[in-house]
Structure 1
Amino acid sequence: MRHLSKDEFVSIVKTYHPTVRQAGIGVQKAKADILKTRGVFDPVAEGRLDRKTFDGKLYYSYFNPQITIPTWYGIDIKAGVEEVIGDRVTSEATLGKTSYVGIKFSSNSLLYDGRRAALQQARLFKEQSEAERRLIINDVMYDAFSSYWNWVREYRNYRIISEVIAVNEARLSFTRTEYEQGSRPAIDTTEALAQLQTFYVQQENAKLAYLNAGLSLSNYLWTEDNIPVYWNESIIPDTSELQEWTTPSLNNLLSLATSHPKIDALSSKISILEVDKKLKQQYFIPKLSLSANMLNKGYTTDFTPTQTFLENNHKIGATLNIPLFYRDAIGGYRMAKLKIAETELEQSNQLLQIENKVRSYYNEVLALQRQIDIYTEVYRNNQKLFHGEQFRFRNGESSLFILNSRENKMLETSLKLLELKMKLQKSYVGLLWAAGQLG
């Protein structure tokens, strides 16, 4: 026999369960997306060659390698060289070899732009994926714990009835011996046999429930190679783990509920929407695009700014774009604000539901603790009555019918007490699940 402890089971589920591993992949994907988004700030080297020859004549040849360095502040730094030769080049082109270095930017991207927004959102998406991973694990572990404690309960039920059967088999043998010796009537052997056969039926039902509970437990048993582990009867629970729990204070649980992964995921979503709103604000700024290059003859690297730059050896371009009604900017900004308000309402509603779930499970735990205390005393009293009746029966002072009645009542309270203890285990798990602490 191999004992499967609660801690070992939890470790297996958190490490190897496919759903948990998928949640981890989601976080890795978010990290990859951050790396991808950072690519918009990578320097880019490019080159252009445009050449035409016809009938033995070189019409034109334009050669222009260039490197562009994006910066965090929305300004692109660029540098390159040009070689223009030919008989029919465009009038604005400069023949020969030239080099240049310059900048390019837009007024509504100096404070904020789409590149910075995309990177910030990618980082926030990673935080959101972390919260969603915790949420998934929280839900998976709740189901896994429920399956585990159900398995433990069915195993204990089966063991209790099996132990009762062993006692009744010995009693049937004792009754038959006394009948053969003339100390008991024949009806007592029938009474003992009928009781034993009833327990045999209960044992079969208990074994069926135990086997099915084990199969349900198999849904959470996986290996490192993503191979399911099929449960068999050689795997039994470690029932010594039915220890008493220390119930956390309600205020502490409600405080933990504010960092529930569902609430954290919505907080990340709100932050993502705030980034979008900030980007939408930039659309109210008139779009002035400016590019400025300092020029030099030949492939030189001497670009010392002088006062004559504005008079000579430069290339400057500017465009101005001002919407007359700003409808696109106004509509986009309003939509961004409404999405934030909508998500904040959802977050408030979810927090209230989570807090109420915590209170509900907390009340259930307290109620079950009181019931267990009461039923523990009921079981002890029924146990005393049974043992007393058994002593009287062996001394010939009681009937087998009364003894069986006492035994049935003791068994009933024993199974009920076990059921309450298993409910308490599940309720403690539910309490931690409601507060989002299983992930």
Structure 2
Amino acid sequence: MKINFRRSPALIMFFLAMLFTSVNSIAQTASKAPDTTKVFSLNDLQELVFRYHPIVKQAALLSEAARADVLQSLGYFDPALKAGFGRKVFGETEYYNNWTSELKVPLWLAGADLKIGYDRSVGTYTNPETRTPLPGLTAVGLSIPLGQGLIIDARRNTLRQSKIMVQYAEAERIKQINSTWYVIAKDYWNWYYAYKQFQLVNEGVDLAQRRFDAVSKQTQIGDKPPIDSVEAYITVQERIIQKEKSAVELQNARLVLSNHLWSEQGNPLELPANAAPQPIPESITKPNRLVLDSLVNQANSQHPELVKLRTKGSQLAVERSYRQEMLKPKLNVTGSLISTRTSFSGYVPDYYDFNRGNYKFGVEFAFPLFLRAERGKLKQVKIKQMELDYDLQQSGREIKNNILTSYNDLSAYEAQLRVQMQSINNQQTLVKGEAQKFELGESTLFLINSRETKLIDMRIKRESMVAGYQKTLAELYYKAGTRQDL
């Protein structure tokens, strides 16, 4: 069925009234916005994250675990006390009555062990080699490796490597925190873009609504054709649909950002609906070359990946020293001064007291003829060191180029934003001029809507560039192995 608007003025008025009522209802429903807004800046987010985020707390455990390994390695240097007792009586004869005790104190110097012992071995059938006088014998001596183990042994090797791993764990902690913050910063700027997009689309709905109201009134008095009201109504509907879509995107971006919000008690928090991102000035300037040079130099010396590689190098250096020590023959010397003295105050004859004439002495020697196992392990360590040197060389170059790449991206964003702002200003001039021509009857509603829609799209694109610039800025510091000072 075709409707002839010119021949049905009553129908025109009814149709316009219905349009005005329905659009007002839709616009009022879709444009409900929070009355008050509170700025939630990136600095506020950082403060919350670094206080309460579970991943940040988890990263701190890496250093604690490494220090626990150091404590465990120190256990190899703990003094050890051991004792044993055995007695046999049969047929009213005491076969043996043996008591042995020893305090062993590992020393850092030369891998030696200080030994203090007390032995009492008596009885009818006691081995003459181990028989002691009835009071027993006290011994004080040292066990020293003169060959293998003099410079470094297994326990010193383990302790040195565990201390080095504390630096490795600290670098890993920094890396994990930086990686987490980089993801969170990107989510923040995604929320920023979704928020700004919703704002601009909402402004577009308000503009379309006001234009529809004005055109409807002009149509009612006969200044505009009815078809203009229909076109204005369609524009309102299109922008309301776009607004609903952007509202969902904003809600989802808010939920994603809420993943990183936690309370002091460890409870998840939600980003309030009235929260707004921090404002960004129209003119954005990239960091200067001094900042870039500082980041490159800092990355070269403090980047977590490079620190981890250098730490592995230090660890392999200790391991290499230990493996070279294993090529030496084993030559362990043990010596003790012995005495029947059991207390400091009692009397003991000189020939039974501590002197050069009362001692125990022993030598232990061992040497594998081909050393194939030791030479193979040493060669493996040398190969790992060569591989590590290549990794360090390549990683350093990649890190530097990644920093320069991010800086170049910032330069591109800066130039694009400058041009985009000029384009937006020019487009605003076109929209104002087209509106004036429309008021004079020299333009059409279609042209106004087209230019206005393009202006909104250009402003949304600018906010997208701003968000992209900020994410690239966060990437620049992340590639340098640090975080932006907010």
TM-score range, shorter chain: over 0.9
Match of 1:101 in 2: 140
Question: After the TM superposition, which residues 159-198 of structure 1 pair with which residues of structure 2 at under 5 Å, given as runs?
Answer: 159-198=199-238
**Deviation sequence 1:255-287 (CA, Å, 0-9, x none):** 222121011011111111111101011112221
Question: What is the one-letter code of the residue matched to 2:122?
Answer: I
Structure 2 stretches lacking a partner, 5+ long: 1-36
Q: Within 2, Cα distance between the matches of 1:135 and 1:331? A: 34
Question: What is the one-letter code of the residue matched to 2:248?
Answer: L
The alignment partner of 1:146 has SS state of: helix
**Deviation sequence 1:238-267 (CA, Å, 0-9, x none):** 335888354142433322221210110111
Higher mean C-alpha deviation, range 417-426 or range 321-330: 321-330
Q: Within 2, Cα distance between the matches of 1:221 and 1:261? A: 26
Q: Kindly indicate whether residue 422 of structure 2 is the aligned counterpart of residue 377 of structure 1.
A: yes
The alignment partner of 1:24 has SS state of: helix
How much does 1:102 deviate?
0.2
Say if 1:311 and 1:412 are closer, same or farther in 2 by CA, change over 3 A: closer
**Deviation sequence 1:163-211 (CA, Å, 0-9, x none):** 1211211111111111112211111111111111111111011111111
TM-score normalised to structure 2 length: 0.85
Q: Within 1, Cα distance between the matches of 2:462 and 2:438? A: 27
Match of 1:68 in 2: 104
Q: Within 2, Cα distance between the matches of 1:324 and 1:33? A: 36
Higher mean C-alpha deviation, range 396-405 or range 107-116: 396-405
**Deviation sequence 1:342-372 (CA, Å, 0-9, x none):** 1221222222221221121111111111011
Say if 1:437 and 1:248 are closer, same or farther in 2 by CA, change over 3 A: farther
Match of 1:145 in 2: 185
Question: What is the one-letter code of the residue matched to 2:388?
Answer: T
Q: Kindly indicate whether residue 473 of structure 2 is the aligned counterpart of residue 428 of structure 1.
A: yes
How much does 1:393 deviate?
2.8
How much does 1:11 deviate?
2.1
Q: Is the 8 A contact 1:46 1:65 kept in 2?
A: yes
Q: Within 1, Cα distance between the matches of 2:288 and 2:409? A: 14
Question: What is the one-letter code of the residue matched to 1:257?
Answer: A
Higher mean C-alpha deviation, range 254-263 or range 70-79: 254-263
**Deviation sequence 1:299-347 (CA, Å, 0-9, x none):** 14599x99x9896210011111122112122111111111111122122
Match of 1:89 in 2: 126
How much does 1:425 deviate?
0.6
How much does 1:395 deviate?
4.4
Match of 2:69 in 1: 33
Q: Within 1, Cα distance between the matches of 2:356 and 2:165? A: 49
Q: Is the 8 A contact 1:137 1:438 kept in 2?
A: no
Q: Is the 8 A contact 1:6 1:241 kept in 2?
A: no
Q: Within 1, Cα distance between the matches of 2:66 and 2:407? A: 36
**Deviation sequence 1:374-402 (CA, Å, 0-9, x none):** 11100011011112222333444432122
Question: After the TM superposition, which residues 304-343 of structure 1 pair with which residues of structure 2 at under 5 Å, given as runs?
Answer: 312-343=357-388
The alignment partner of 1:67 has SS state of: strand
**Deviation sequence 1:31-74 (CA, Å, 0-9, x none):** 11111211222222222212222343322122122211111111
Q: Is the 8 A contact 2:283 2:418 kept in 1?
A: no
Q: Within 2, Cα distance between the matches of 1:376 and 1:431? A: 24
Q: Within 1, Cα distance between the matches of 2:285 and 2:133? A: 87
The alignment partner of 1:9 has SS state of: helix
Match of 1:59 in 2: 95
How much does 1:437 deviate?
1.1
Structure 1 stretches lacking a partner, 5+ long: none
TM-score normalised to structure 1 length: 0.94
Question: What is the one-letter code of the residue matched to 2:237?
Answer: Q
Higher mean C-alpha deviation, range 421-430 or range 354-363: 354-363
The alignment partner of 1:220 has SS state of: coil
Higher mean C-alpha deviation, range 172-181 or range 123-132: 172-181
Question: What is the one-letter code of the residue matched to 2:464?
Answer: E
Give the superposed CA RMSD.
2.3
Residue correspondences, number: 437
The alignment partner of 1:284 has SS state of: coil
How much does 1:232 deviate?
4.9
Q: Within 2, Cα distance between the matches of 1:27 and 1:366? A: 38
Match of 1:8 in 2: 44
Match of 2:397 in 1: 352
Q: Within 2, Cα distance between the matches of 1:58 and 1:312? A: 31
Say if 1:53 and 1:228 are closer, same or farther in 2 by CA, change over 3 A: farther
Match of 1:218 in 2: 258
Match of 2:117 in 1: 80
Match of 2:341 in 1: 298
Q: Within 2, Cα distance between the matches of 1:23 and 1:208? A: 34
Structure with higher Rg: it is 2
How much does 1:140 deviate?
1.1
The alignment partner of 1:109 has SS state of: coil
Question: What is the one-letter code of the residue matched to 2:341?
Answer: G
Q: Within 2, Cα distance between the matches of 1:81 and 1:100? A: 6
